[in-house]
Structure 1
Amino acid sequence: MSLSPRNSVYNAGPQLLRDVWGLTAVAILIIILRIIAKLRIGKFGADDILMVSALCLAVIGSIMVTLAIKLGFGQELSSINTSNVSKIIMHDYLTQTFGLAGGALGRISFIVFIIGLLVQKRSHRIILWILIGLQVIVNSIFIIILFVQCPGHASAIWAHSGKAKCWDLHVQAYYGYFQGAFNSATDLYLAVFSTCIFWNLNLKVRVKVGLVALLGMGIFAMIASIIKTVQTRVLATSDSEPTTATIDYDRWIYIETYLVIITASIPCIRSLLRPTNSRKISSSDTHELSSRYAISSMRSRTRRRDSSIDGKRIINVSEGDLSIDDEISRGYQHNVTPQLGESRESVVICV
């Protein structure tokens, strides 16, 4: 029997659209600030390219959900033109695909960022690179499952022609639980890992707390990931009401994805929030840094003196000039013995 359009009593599409595009706007702003901050200190790298790519995937997903809503996604099946149903399902699958891919790439970007800071222990680097590999594998398998559940007839997933034999929908639901749990565990691990590593650095308590707070913000993405994982149950019954069943699931996919992008990028824009007139650190804190991070970021923006110690040029900088990785490097390379003739109100970097 043909379904004729009528005024819908239930329409969750507009609210989903506002939620997704609200987060999209915030994420775009944060990424722009991240790029400006990284270019400003000369440290635009692989992690930034990955994060911009993650944002692009998420924005494409936001466009897909917009197209689906324009076709009737979020309305009851009886309220939609029959010819649009298969298109809605197809756009819904693409929405999930780009959202999941964006979240995975965002996590990979953050891990690469952490690896760039924690260069001291080889074991830490190995664990983090393994985590990157698992992120690729676990999330890729879920996306593959979405499109191969009707072997040899991918279009049958949304066409519902009844001619193709497809897997039980519980397959993608069960794997979705695993994929969601893994992503949640990854967010928790990165938050705890960052806290443990940075708390042991030889830095002031207030600096430690600041670094831990910034780099532990992924806990919010973990909470969103847990909620999204709970919503995965709808995948097992989505056939009964394909135009409304996954509304909340899609919403939490994008909340999770954009929170990953936002919380992983906020630490990178810290340098933009520093006061223009840098203040000096306390007279009891003089440090000697030999970190490659400190050298590369400060060479172009600090005042220099024509003095040397053992053939090395001395650069004096104030604490306000330090970016997040400079402060971490300072913690690793801490040396409380001031150099002869140096002011005790300066950070000393030997290059």
Structure 2
Amino acid sequence: MGSPTSKDMALAVLVPLPLNVLTIIARFWIRTQRKAWGPDDWAMVATIPVWVVSQVGMIGMAWSGVGQLDSTLTPQQKANSNFEFWCFTLVALKWSLGFTLLRIGDGKKWVQGIIYGCLALVTICTGGTGMYLFFQCTPVEKNWWPETEGSCQPREIQTVLSFLVAAVSITTDWIFAMLPFGLIWKLQMGARVKASVIGLLGLGIFASIAPIVRLKYLLLMNDAAKFLQGLGIILAWAQAEVGIGLLVANLPACRPLLESAIAAFTSTISSKDKSKTGATSAAGKSSYLELGERDPTKKGNSMASRGGVETKVYGTYLGDGSNESLPQPANSQERIIQKQSQNQIHVQTEFGMEFENKQRGNSHHGPAGY
């Protein structure tokens, strides 16, 4: 294959690639085993094809001429150097991250408003920029073959849109990274669990570094003679954002494996403490909390359950020919457990009951409860 024409792009793609693949596999395996599949997992499934196409394109560009002066490249190299698909990958990744935050948002309206607002902004600005880059030339083939007769929009428009994409990425990365603090801090979870979830989701702050650095090089695209040379640096940082973003989206789901690995490396305790830790560890594995779940061992915990328990009381006719009898079975069903709101259930523990002994004159009427 030879050496890459843009080492920055080659490193930005190949370094995070193994970790991305491993975390994707681990995520799907854990969620399947725990039967905890959710919308964020479906969003990641939709992200994978877009991400694969982007990675293949980035690798091809890194070895085809990107990073070199335009005048030193052949027409074929120039054609192979104009395949930008990372915008669509970034949009799909943001949706997966957004659904992850919705999973722990507990149905709060203000959380849904913020997340859906960010996702709409990313989709319009970043996805719209990707569409513009594809259709900026007439005919479209001129994007890849500059010698083709036709016209393209000024490079300055692409530069302005690139600044917009970077600004939106930075803003949404910080919002998504800081939101877990407000969502998880008051949940009925152990301090260690809170710290791990907040830490994993807070890695989005590092993802925001890439678009910040990318801002420095965006003006290089205005120089037609050095367009592909500057594009190599810009796409390298764009790919770094995608690689880190994919890790941030997958790591919260991989928390059981991460906690097991950390426990294995930190098991340097005395034998007495080891026996206690062993019991605690075993309990910890069985009581592992998925995102959005509450710790049942915490006092004051009110777990919101979409299912519920329904108790039905049935009555039958008396068999002695008495005129007084219980209602029909279909009419005597009473729900003594009722869901009053999203996070509360009401249990009716008192009820009235009448019964009549078959021996005449020995009847009893009165309330009963438990």
Relative contact order higher in (CA < 8 Å, ≥ 6 apart) = 1
The question of whether the paired residues in 2 share the 8 Å contact of 1:115 and 1:125 is answered with yes
- Matching residue within 117, 128, 132 for 1:145: 132
Backbone CA RMSD of aligned residues: 3.1
1:247 CA displacement: 0.7
Partner of 1:219: 205
TM-score, structure 1 as length reference: 0.72
Deviates more, 1:158-167 or 1:205-214: 158-167
The question of whether the paired residues in 2 share the 8 Å contact of 1:54 and 1:106 is answered with yes
Superposition pairs of residues 245-324 of structure 1, within 5 angstroms: 245-275=230-260, 279-280=279-280, 318-324=283-289
Count of residues in correspondence between the two structures: 287
Partner of 1:88: 80
1:327 CA displacement: 7.0
The question of whether the paired residues in 2 share the 8 Å contact of 1:11 and 1:75 is answered with no
Q: In terms of Rg, which structure is larger?
A: 2
Deviates more, 1:253-262 or 1:218-227: 218-227
| 1:231 matched to 2:217 | yes
Within 2, Cα distance between the matches of 1:181 and 1:193? 18
The question of whether the paired residues in 2 share the 8 Å contact of 1:228 and 1:249 is answered with yes
Q: Give unpaired runs (5+ residues) of structure 1.
A: 1-7, 282-316, 338-349
1:175 CA displacement: 1.4
Partner of 1:53: 46
| 1:185 matched to 2:150 | no
1:27 CA displacement: 0.5
Within 2, Cα distance between the matches of 1:268 and 1:240? 46
- Matching residue within 137, 156, 161 for 2:147: 161
| 1:72 matched to 2:65 | yes
Partner of 2:98: 111
- Matching residue within 300, 308, 314 for 1:335: 300
Within 2, Cα distance between the matches of 1:188 and 1:129? 15
Within 2, Cα distance between the matches of 1:334 and 1:84? 67
1:172 CA displacement: 1.1
Q: Deviations over 1:28-85 (max 9, x none)?
A: 11111111111111112331232233233223222113323443333344443x3324
1:336 CA displacement: 6.8
Taking a change above 3 Å as real, the CA distance of residues 206 and 83 of structure 1, as seen in their structure-2 partners, is closer
Within 2, Cα distance between the matches of 1:203 and 1:44? 21
TM-score, structure 2 as length reference: 0.69
Taking a change above 3 Å as real, the CA distance of residues 249 and 41 of structure 1, as seen in their structure-2 partners, is same
| 1:325 matched to 2:310 | no
Q: Give unpaired runs (5+ residues) of structure 2.
A: 264-276, 303-344, 346-370
The question of whether the paired residues in 1 share the 8 Å contact of 2:78 and 2:144 is answered with yes
The question of whether the paired residues in 2 share the 8 Å contact of 1:50 and 1:105 is answered with yes
